[in-house]
Structure 1
Amino acid sequence: MNFLRDVFRFYISSSIHVALAVLAFFFITALEYNFKPPITTSAFIFLGTISAYNFVKYASIAGLHHRSLTNSLRAIQVFSAICFLLWIFLAFHLSFTTLLFVALFGVTTVLYAVPIIQHRSLRMFSGLKIFVVAFVWAGITVIIPFIASELAITTDVILTFIQRFLIVVVLILPFEIRDIPYDALALKTIPQQIGIKNTKNAGLAALAFSLFIEFFKKTSEVAYITSLLLFSIILGLAVFISKKDQKRYFSSFLVEGLPILWFVMYVTFKTI
């Protein structure tokens, strides 16, 4: 039992879960537009997400306490290093254009974590954190699949990018609500600025708008619309019941795993 608990904690703490969520979004885009992105690109995104998230989460801790790291943190460090090396290896198998666009989102990630601008990282700028993360997620999971597959980015793709951006913003809100007691007031997160109730209302409004965007696309698919609607209802419910005092894995497992559920629902409806 302890072994399974440790495996689960490693699965969450090492960012495998969030990487699968990003990959789910990535494949949802490919399914929506009926193409298969190169497997190397999919693996590149998965490994890159693990490397980036663990860098953001643990770089400062490892630097300050490298002599007294716990065994679990050391294991995550080694795991992250292996993922990073494999990520570098796969980079040589991607086109220059793909790497160029990945670099754009990669630089944004670095600026998010490293205090370069005015001795502050992007996450420290008032109210900016959630939108930076949403921009990177939307770019990696909507734009990159098309670039890697050498497909044109149409108006519909731009609408999907906006849709995904809004969805990711809403997906982060339960984390923002959970972290109210811990976030510095200078961050001016959405819940800090407008309160929990208004944050939930804003999240539900953003989800409604993301659904409304679907009507502006030239081509739509019943399976996609149905799965998107169900996903939005579940995500909206998760935002609605979010509170500061959450169960340990409510946000980091249940909420963060919703993109995976959406992918499963989409595949199911698409095969019926």
Structure 2
Amino acid sequence: MKILKSVFRFYINGSIHVALAICALIQVTFMKFEIPNQQIFLLFNFFGSITAYNFVKYSKVSKLYHRRLTKSMIGIRVLTILSSVLFLCFAFLISVSTLLYMMPFFALTVLYVVPVFPNKKNLRSLAGAKIFIIGIIWAGVTVLVPLLYVGESFGLDFLIELIQRFLFVVVMMLPFEVRDLEYDAEDLETVPQKIGITRTKVFGSILLVVFLLLTYLKGEILYSAEILSTIVLTIISLFFLWGTEKKQSEYYCSFWVESVPIMWLLVLLSLENLFG
């Protein structure tokens, strides 16, 4: 049992779970636009996500405590190094134009943690901006770049999908902001800090309603599996949003909330098989 717990913690803390969630969202995008077999692009993003997230989470820790890292941190460092090497290997199989599309989101990720602004501030420390920056990064990486990678033309469905993904990610970040209420500095001005926990849930619910209604504005890619999967996803997201409390279980956000994109993919796969 101790071994299983250690493996699970490594799976979460090593950002493998969040990387799978990102790849799940990319695959959802490909399925909605009927784009098959993009394994290289998915692997490129999987290893890139592990590298980026571990850089965000552990760069300061590794720098300050490199002489006395725990076994867990040593394992995460090895995982990050291996992932960065594989990420670079897959980057050689990706077109230069796609890499250029990725650059703004890579830059945002770096600026999110590196203090390049006055008073040693980074993007994360900008009042009220944190979840919206993450929403932009995730929407770009899971919708904009994948569709540009396959040469999809920028139309109404493309734009709606991009907006929907941004709204979805913002909502999924709200439970994390509630969890971090007692740790975040007041000058961060997160949504729960500004309006309270209950109103945060109402705010997230409104965004989910908009997210759902936008589906009906789509034309070319609108089909039964997409409509039903979006309805199911909205219900699942509402469940986790309203189940969020200031004091929550250790893995409520880092496992269950981050599993919602994977649930979305599984629901979409099941419905597509059902409807043929």
The reply on whether 1:244 has 2:246 as its aligned counterpart is yes
1:84-134, Cα deviation, whole Å (9 max, x unpaired): 011111111111110001111101111111111222110000011101111
Report 1:35-54 matches (<5 A): 35-36=35-36, 38-54=38-54
State the partner residue of 1:4.
Answer: 4
Structure 1, 144-153 or 253-262: larger mean CA deviation: 144-153
| Cα deviation, residue 153, structure 1 | 2.1
| Cα deviation, residue 38, structure 1 | 2.9
Q: Percent identity?
A: 40
Q: Is the 8 A contact 1:19 1:47 kept in 2?
A: yes
- C-alpha distance in structure 2 between counterparts of 1:146 and 1:33, whole Å: 9
- C-alpha distance in structure 2 between counterparts of 1:30 and 1:20, whole Å: 15
SS in 1 for 2:43: helix
Report 1:96-135 matches (<5 A): 96-118=96-118, 119-135=120-136
| Cα deviation, residue 22, structure 1 | 0.5
1:63-89, Cα deviation, whole Å (9 max, x unpaired): 111111101011001100110011111
1:227 maps to amino acid: S
1:227-265, Cα deviation, whole Å (9 max, x unpaired): 111111111111112111001111110111011011001
SS in 1 for 2:117: coil
- C-alpha distance in structure 2 between counterparts of 1:241 and 1:2, whole Å: 28
State the partner residue of 1:176.
Answer: 177
1:178-208, Cα deviation, whole Å (9 max, x unpaired): 0000011111110001110110000000000
- C-alpha distance in structure 2 between counterparts of 1:98 and 1:155, whole Å: 21
Q: Is the 8 A contact 1:126 1:189 kept in 2?
A: yes
Q: Which of 210, 233, 250 is the matching residue for 1:231?
A: 233
Report the TM-score, using the length of structure 2 for normalisation: 0.97
Q: Is the 8 A contact 1:180 1:191 kept in 2?
A: yes
1:216 maps to amino acid: L
- C-alpha distance in structure 1 between counterparts of 2:72 and 2:244, whole Å: 29
| Cα deviation, residue 37, structure 1 | 5.5
- C-alpha distance in structure 2 between counterparts of 1:109 and 1:165, whole Å: 16
| Cα deviation, residue 151, structure 1 | 2.0
- C-alpha distance in structure 1 between counterparts of 2:230 and 2:113, whole Å: 31
What are structure 2's unaligned runs of at least 5 residues? Answer: none
- C-alpha distance in structure 2 between counterparts of 1:16 and 1:84, whole Å: 13
- C-alpha distance in structure 2 between counterparts of 1:235 and 1:107, whole Å: 29
State the partner residue of 2:82.
Answer: 82
- C-alpha distance in structure 2 between counterparts of 1:79 and 1:247, whole Å: 26
